[in-house]
Amino acid sequence: MNRVISFCFLTLAIAFIAVSFGTSSNSAASAQMYGNAQDEIKKLEEERNGAIVHGDAAVLDRLSSADYMVINEWGQVLTKAQILDGFKSGALKFESREQSDLNIRVYGNTAVVIGRATQKGTQNGKSMSASIRFSRVYVKEKGKWAAVSTQNTPVAM
C-alpha cells in the first residue's frame, strides 16, 4: 500500500514539474512575441510621427486602416479621408512634433499606445501648437499592424 501511495505522489510530482516547464517556456515565448510586437508598434509610431511632421499623406495612408478615425484635441471626430486631405492640401502643417512617455501594451492582435506629444503647427492658418496626451489603437490583420483610432487630449498647463 505504501508503494502505491509513493508511486502516486511521484507521478503527481513529475506531472507538476512537466506542466511547470511547459508553462515557463510558453511564458517566455509569449514574452518574446509581446516584446517583438511592442518593438514593431514603436517603429510604426516613429514612422507616423515623421510622416506627420513632413506632411507625408502616403505614409499616413499606409499606416492607417481604411476606417481610421481621430478625436482631436478640440473634440472633433475626423475620418482618415479628412486627415489625409488636410495634409495634401497644406491646410494641416506641423513645424515640429516630439513624442514621449510611450506606453505600448499588446493584447493578441490589438495594441494600445498611450503617450505624450508636444507639437507646433497650424490648421487652416490657426495655431494648433500644444502639448497633448494621446491614445492610439492598432489592430494586426493579415500580418500587418494598422492604426484604427486615435484620441488626443490637451495637457493642462
pLDDT surpassing 60 at residue 110: yes
Domains of the chain: 2-154 (3.10.450.50)
Nearest by Cα to 70 from 82, 62, 78: 78
- What tens digit of pLDDT does each residue of 18-75 get? 434 444 444 455 456 567 999 999 999 999 999 999 999 999 999 999 999 999 988 9
How far apart (Å, rounded) are the C-alpha atoms in residues 154 and 73? 6
Alpha helices per DSSP H over the chain? 2-54, 57-63, 80-89
Shortest CA distance to 144 belongs to which of 88, 63, 26?
Answer: 63
Tens digit of each residue's pLDDT (9 = 90 or more) over 70-109: 999 889 999 999 999 999 999 999 999 999 999 999 999 9
* pTM reported for the whole predicted model: 0.78
Do 148 and 137 contact (CB within 8 A), yes or no? yes
